[in-house]
Amino acid sequence: MSRDSKPRKKSGNRPARSGGGIVIGIFIGLVLGAVFAAGAAWYFTRANPFQAPPTSPRIPGADQPPVALPGKPGDRPVVKQDFQFYKILPQGDGAQAEPVAPAAQPAPAPVERLYLQVGAFEDPSEADNLKARLALSGIEASAQRGRTADGRTVHRVRIGPFGKPEDMAPMRSRLAEGGFTATVVRAAP
């Protein structure tokens, strides 16, 4: 049997370490970091001594003294704005609109508007949630408030209007891809 020839030290005779070594190490690290940061800031902001200062091109008439403009320095020039709505809107609150002569054209047939209704809810927050889910899918929808025959308020989430049923086909396929079902609704203009 072999024995270690080194004598073992007793654990009770070990001198206690002080925490001063850690504090000194942190202080030295902070000082070195500040020195490196200051050196990098100086390096990147210093001017190149080998580069000539920039010269401005000669402008004819630059030798003359500047002409004083009206107003205070820094004022913006006054631009007169031309508002068209004063000419378009009727004058005053009680103004009557000028009668327009009716055209001799035949009245066009009423255009039917088609919508894709994705949902109808009594709670407006549910309609907003569905509208937000559609928006995340890239589909723009609107929430419309209406009344049912029994007097309840309903918030409908609709997409459209569309002129013809053929115009709705691409939107219906996008809705189906997103997992939404829609019903075609006809609305009077």
Predicted TM-score (pTM) of the model is 0.41
Residue 182 lies in a domain: yes
Residue 178 lies in a domain: yes
Residue 179 lies in a domain: yes
Q: Which residues have C-beta within 8 Å of that of residue 124, sequence separation ≥ 6?
A: 143, 145, 155
Residue 77 lies in a domain: no
Domain assignment of residue 139, given as a range: 113-187
Residue 133 lies in a domain: yes
- The predicted model gives 156-183 an average pLDDT of 85
166: confidence class by pLDDT, cuts 50, 70, 90: confident
Residue 67 lies in a domain: no
CATH code at position 158: 3.30.70.1070
Task: Give the C-alpha separation, 128 to 156, whole Å.
Answer: 10
Number of domain units in the chain: 1
User: Locate tokens 């080194």: which residue?
Assistant: 6
Lowest mean pLDDT among 29-43, 87-101, 136-150: 87-101
Residue 41 lies in a domain: no
| Phi, psi (degrees; rounded to nearest 5) at 17 | -85, 145
pLDDT at res. 111: 67
Is the pLDDT reported for residue 143 higher than 60? Answer: yes
Q: Which residues have C-beta within 8 Å of that of residue 111, sequence separation ≥ 6?
A: 163, 189
Per-residue DSSP letters for the chain?
-----SPPPPGGGPPPPPTHHHHHHHHHHHHHHHHHHHHHHHHHHSPPTTSPPP-PPP-TTTTSPPPPPSS-TTPPPP-----SHHHHSPSSSSPPPPPPPPPSSPPPPPPPEEEEEEEEESSHHHHHHHHHHHHHTT---EEEEEE-TTS-EEEEEEEEEESSHHHHHHHHHHHHHHT---EEEEE--
Residue 8 lies in a domain: no
